[in-house]
Amino acid sequence: MNYYVYYKIESTRLRQFWPLVQQIFLEIEKQTGIRGRWMRRRDDPSTYMEVYEGVKDEAAFEALLQGASDRLGVPRKVERFISAETPA
């Protein structure tokens, strides 16, 4: 299972936001072995996304994401994708 978490960040908050994201990535990696990636939308510099690939324990992972959302203080949209090669 792959998770894509996206949200908007005001440019004035970006400097304070990045260290929080790094901390979340380290915590998630420590607990799950999954290293997140941070991406920015090419045509909208206020839209950011965290990418987590290869999640095995969805319930535990989603609890970690909820905790991250609470700390970041911005509305976040979570999308879940699986391989298209996996039968429905």
pTM of the model: 0.90
In the chain, how many H helices and how many E strands? 2, 4
Q: Which helix (H) or strand (E) holds 88?
A: none
pLDDT at residue number 45: 92
pLDDT at residue number 19: 94
Domain range 2-81, CATH class: alpha beta
Tens digit of pLDDT for each residue in 55-82? 999 999 999 988 887 888 889 999 999 9
Residue in the block written with tokens 């999954």: 34
Residues 2, 80: contact at Cβ < 8 Å?
A: yes
With bands split at pLDDT 50, 70 and 90, how would you rate the model's confidence at 31?
very high
